Structure 1
Amino acid sequence: MSTATLHGVLCPLVTPFENGTVDEESLASLTEWLIDHDIDGVVPCGTTGEFASLSPSEWRTVIEVTTDAADGRVPVVAGVAGTNTERVSEQLEFAASVGADAALLPPPYFHTAPSPKGNLDFFESIADSSPLPIVLYNIPACTGQPIATETVTELANHDAVIGLKDSSGDFDYFLELLRETEDDFSLLEGYDQHFVSGVHAGSNGGINALSNVLPGVFASIRDEAFEGDTERALDIEQSALPQLFGYCLDYGFATVAKVGLVSRGVITSSEVRPPLVSLSDEVRNDIERLVSNVV
């Protein structure tokens, strides 16, 4: 898989639930809808996909349903995660067996590394035998630590490590990685409101939660940004995203995205799993209003 394939807007899919179970039909329909709306790739079982709330069998179901629905039309980057290398390697083997194109891998959580070398060893031990290209996932709010820039630059030399998604919101960190890595290492902005700034600085694009709800808006932002009309791209981004993104930060990306998708008639239920909680009617109504004003 060429790193050039990971370019543009990739969507970290929500995992639709219905009465406590994974809604496979809605997941397949969502994947189809996003492809129809010009999304460049899909990422099942990321943070927005509530991967940490899925059982192992549900995780496998989500990966398989998504790859089947995508049917080779866009890359599928499977979210894998764990605190031991054996479990992560098993996930990688399964994702590869059902046709995923790459994997998104955060550092271990709970017992965080006492030094950058700890995470380097973790990633290298997995990458050495990985059947899939790996995209590193920097999300310190959830893992308790960032992936140090020196760790990223070292891993960028590994044949199996093809890029990084940065959800830290620390744009100085992202700029440093742009300076310190080669052009063939895909750097993807995970902070939705930094998409245009990232492209302007030299990124490959982003993996952005609100693209679940606003794929056409993100496609327009992408097109304007990569064609060099930064001012127009920023106008679209800043008129469409700030309030919705603020709700995502306050209430959770899956929660807000699902409400938006129900309001657009794409999925049938906004159900989330603990520790996420349903929104009040007031907040739900405001999200629905914001979405309808954009689309």
Structure 2
Amino acid sequence: MATPPVYPPLVTPFTASNEVDVDALAALVDAVESRGVDGVVPCGTTGEFASLTEAEYETVVETTADTASGRVVAGVADTSVAGVRSKVETAADAGCDAVLVTGPYFHTENAAGGTESFLRAAVADAPLPVYLYNIPVYVGDRLGSRTVSTLAEAGLVAGIKDSSGDLDYLLTLVRSTPDDFELFCGYDSVLVPALTSGATGGINALANVVPEVFDAARSALAEGETERAVHLSQTAIAPLFEQCAAHGFAPATKVGAAARGFLDSTAVRPPLVDLDEGARGDVADAVDEALAVVDVD
């Protein structure tokens, strides 16, 4: 198989005065790209996009696009059609390569067809390729497989990031979407089984922290070493993913990235809270254990 691409949904670093730290963001992009990822995703869930002002959103997207050498897929989720369209324009103006959009949240559809209508209006005539983003735990609704396949067959969307962790759902999309439709697994602990089942690649929070592990796992699959890929998934990715699931992905990912020296500050914005010392130690230990599996100091 071809080597599957992996992108981290970047965390957004903040200064001690709670401002976006553009220097730290640029350094993080350099750190992960130098360790094997194929691109980056600013302003996703792990990037605390919902806690950014409009000006901060523009700063994060522009800084990332100016720094990255790989592909840049900007998150453009919003509660309104106009909000999504405005963010798409910002991403295009910044030089991003594609955008990532959820269904509407807070106000979810009250009858069949509402989400599809929202998405059709939000991405109509988009100047960049559009990827859907299925994350029902935060949006409140799953993107229906029929909605996804309808939008794909209409040529309105190029792919999807699925963060549901539901492999049966992903397999349904593999069967029901065009061959060139790209399916990215966003649930880190099932990335390897997703790739062996037809997924295109991964958009994975922990690639902010241990990009070497993701590079090793996807390379193993490309080389036909399935057992090695499964071993990496079970012994390096899954235990660290469990720590993130327990403590929150943005806070735990920042702690993990700081443990690697990729970030100086682990500050998050309310309602998120930074990890206590015990949790920080648990995350750091899981990072060390993951890196030991691939012999990285």
Shorter-normalised TM range: over 0.9
Deviations along 1:57-81, whole A, 9 cap, x unmatched?
Answer: 11100000000001xx311000011
Residue in 2 aligned with 1:43? 41
Q: Does 1:53 align with 2:51?
A: yes
The 5 Å alignment of 1:218-257 reads 218-257=214-253
SS at match of 2:100: strand
SS at match of 2:99: strand
What RMSD, in angstroms, separates the aligned Cα atoms of the two structures? 1.4
Q: Equivalents in 2 of 1:160, 1:40: separation in Å? A: 24
**Percentage of pairs with the same residue:** 47
SS at match of 1:111: coil
SS at match of 2:6: strand
Q: Answer whether contact 2:213 2:237 (CA < 8 A) is retained.
A: no
SS at match of 1:161: coil
Residue in 1 aligned with 2:9? 12
- What is the identity, as a one-letter code, of the residue corresponding to 1:232? R
- What is the identity, as a one-letter code, of the residue corresponding to 2:9? P
Q: Equivalents in 1 of 2:35, 2:152: separation in Å? A: 32
2:26 to 15, 22, 28: 28
Q: Answer whether contact 1:258 1:270 (CA < 8 A) is retained.
A: yes
Residue in 1 aligned with 2:126? 130
Of 80-89 and 185-194, more deviation after overlay is shown by 80-89
Q: Equivalents in 2 of 1:122, 1:61: separation in Å? A: 26
Which segments of 5 or more consecutive residues in structure 2 lack a partner in the other structure? Answer: 292-297
What is the TM-score normalised by the length of structure 2? 0.94
The Cα of 1:116 is off from its aligned counterpart by 3.7
Residue in 1 aligned with 2:264? 268
Residue in 1 aligned with 2:294? none
Q: Equivalents in 1 of 2:223, 2:118: separation in Å? A: 38
The Cα of 1:181 is off from its aligned counterpart by 1.0
Q: Which stretches of structure 1, 4 residues or more, deviate above 3 A after TM superposition? A: none
What is the TM-score normalised by the length of structure 1? 0.95
- What is the identity, as a one-letter code, of the residue corresponding to 2:6? V
Q: Does 1:143 align with 2:102?
A: no
The 5 Å alignment of 1:74-85 reads 74-85=70-81
Count of residue correspondences: 289
SS at match of 2:113: helix
The Cα of 1:160 is off from its aligned counterpart by 3.6
Residue in 2 aligned with 1:98? 94
The Cα of 1:7 is off from its aligned counterpart by 4.8
The Cα of 1:136 is off from its aligned counterpart by 0.2
